[in-house]
Amino acid sequence: MIRVLLADDHPVVRSGLIGMIAHEADIEVVGEVGDGAAAVAFVEQQRPDVVLMDLRMPELDGVGATATITRAFPDVRVLILTTYDTDGDIVRAVEAGAAGYLLKDAPRAELLTAIRSAARGDTVLAPPLAARLMRSVRDADSALTGRERDVLRAVARGSTNADVGRELFISEATVKTHLLHIFDKLGVSDRTAAVTAAVRRGDIELPNER
């Protein structure tokens, strides 16, 4: 039997979830709470197998409750169930230790499958959300460091590698290394393309002409 806790500040949502789960032979709702702090307290006392966790709740939000629960009780699986699907929300929930992320408009069959998968220890993420998460991770991996932006700003002003090195008090070899990293992150092969790509992404601004 998979023991489930419902954590959502809307009673009508909790009632709907209970109705969706009620007739499943292998899943039992063992409790319902209306805020994150209450969810943490319930887990401490009852140790459910899976928590269906809303993101926006009073006292302690879903991300904070998820982080607390997964850190203190790693065997308890937290499945985010929310109406919010922004990239930031997805990444924050996954970083907090959530076993999965579903939207509240997910079909009943998808929800039940997610609960069972989470209880087995699998990670559950609806395909569109998985694609967005991967895109967010890729964007984070391609972010330029402060020093790399400094190098590109100097390059955009027409500085040579030697000029950049003198300006930033680094060797010319270090400048070349920074440029190679920049090219790799931006998916380009030369200085002009790197400046163009960085400006388009908003990493740097072109110097004002006088």
Q: What is the DSSP string of 34-95?
A: SSHHHHHHHHHHH--SEEEE-SS-SSS-HHHHHHHHHHH-TTSEEEEEES---HHHHHHHHH
Token digits of residue 49 = 């197998």
Task: Pinpoint the residues of the chain covered by CATH 3.40.50.2300.
Answer: 2-139
Tell me the fold of 144-201: Arc Repressor Mutant, subunit A (1.10.10)
Give dist(CA 162, CA 164) in Å, integer: 5
What residues in the chain have per-residue pLDDT under 70? 85-88, 126-142, 208-210
Supply the pLDDT for residue 210.
42
Token digits of residue 94 = 């996954």
Mean pLDDT of the chain: 86
Provide CATH code, domain 2-139.
Answer: 3.40.50.2300
Task: Pinpoint the residues of the chain covered by CATH 1.10.10.10.
Answer: 144-201
Token digits of residue 190 = 């030369």
Paired residues of 81 in beta bridges: 102
- pTM value > 0.75: no
- Residues in Cβ contact with 206 at an 8 Å cutoff, skipping those fewer than 6 apart: 156, 195, 199
Supply the pLDDT for residue 187.
81
* pLDDT, tens digit, 9 for 90 and up, residues 95-153: 888 888 888 888 899 899 999 999 998 878 766 665 556 555 555 556 788 899 999 99
Q: Pairing relation of β-strands 124-125 and 100-103?
A: parallel
Give dist(CA 103, CA 85) in Å, integer: 7
CA-atom Rg of the chain in angstroms: 24
